[in-house]
Amino acid sequence: MQAGYDVTLIAPVNDAFQEKGVAVIPAGSWSNRYYRFFVTIPRLLIAALKLKSSIYHFHDPELLLIVPFLRLSGAKVIYDIHEDYVTSIQQKSYIPGLFRNLFSMTFGLIEKVASSLCNRVIAEKYYRERFPDAVEILNYPLLKELNEGVQYDSRSEEHGEVFDDRYQWFLYTGNVTIDRGALLHLELLKAHRDTAIAYIGKCSDELTDLILATADREQISRERIRFIGVEAYVPRETIDYYTYTQHWLAGVALFPETHHYTRKELTKFFEYMAAGLPVLSSDFPAWRNIVERNDCGISVNPAEYQSLVSAIEYLFAHPDDVIKMGDNGRQAVSIKYNWGVEEKKLLELYKRVSE
């Protein structure tokens, strides 16, 4: 919109509305995958064709089914590849192990062929291995004010959460799952009795119970663990509130090694950095490269307990370095890891496909 485009969003809502100048058209909500596939997607196609847009831009791979119809209308179509479904399928526990590779390979082939009618955008650098002609537009955060003068007060009438200042708190943001390190993060609490962790993101009841049961077994006090988002979606504004108004020892991304995550540049890295937080991450090469190149945190092997102990001891013993790492991360985001840089590439793509 700010660049002069008339933008309309077709979304899974039941009523039309406007937000920040963008018209939102309902595609209707769904109660299950079958309804989404057989009812919502056709409804979305009809709504899209009625718009008579010159460019259609979408993320969900199932919408590749309607691309031929959009192209027949004379429009250009952009398929924005945000997720590596090829590797994520290999991690789905509900798919029998014998079939995961088959389903993964089949999906990868279908996605590649079906998206050949589109201009392709990739949100991760390594996706270029599958889509060498794609435009790389990385999922970096919007720049925020650097919070000069903000008083770090964890008490808020709006959110009502209080963090016990007897502990040094680690921050984890985003969906809480086993393969995103939910249990590994408890190792930080084992490694130092003065540490605590806040999980700010959706976490299932089942996993919440498992984390707390694991803490009990390891004799970790439950008061050192805080959940914001049990069986509930946590809005971006709420995550930002806590990220920017609470004093954190570090933002953490200690994931176990899986094929799906080891090469991703996690958005949470840059969100931590933008808030001036040092990053404590697993030492996968792509992650270590970000942390070490920008001197904005510490990378460790989460499977080596002593590495975690050493990292925490360093953070406790070198407060000036902690501040410096946070400042380095914030500066790196302000210069290169921000949406302002990527936005220019997106607008250039729109200009090119419109010609």
Superfamily of domain 8-141+339-354: Glycogen Phosphorylase B; (3.40.50.2000)
Burial class from Cβ neighbours inside 10 Å (0-12, 13-18, 19+) for residue 352 reads: exposed
pLDDT of residue 59: 93
Closest C-alpha to 117, from 70, 151, 81: 70
SS (H, E, C) 208-262: HHHHHHHHHHCCCCHHHEEEEEECCCCCHHHHHHHHHHCCCCEEEECCCCCCCCC
Superfamily of domain 168-335: Glycogen Phosphorylase B; (3.40.50.2000)
How far is Cα 323 from Cα 302, in angstroms, rounded to an integer?
Answer: 23
Q: Please measure the distance between the N-terminal and C-terminal CA atoms of the chain and give it in whole angstroms.
A: 18
Which DSSP helix (H) or strand (E) runs through 201? Answer: strand 195-203
pLDDT of residue 3: 66
pTM to 2 decimal places:
0.86
- Angle between helix axes 285-294 and 319-335 (nearest 10 degrees) is 100
Read off the tokens for 77. 């179509």
Q: How far is CA 121 from CA 82, 87, 210, 211, 270, in A?
A: 8, 18, 38, 37, 20
pLDDT of residue 153: 43
How far is Cα 197 from Cα 185, in angstroms, rounded to an integer?
Answer: 8
Question: Is 117 strand, coil or helix?
Answer: helix
Parts of the chain with a pLDDT under 50: 146-157
The owner of tokens 């435009």 is 135
Outline which parts of the chain fall under CATH 3.40.50.2000. 8-141+339-354, 168-335
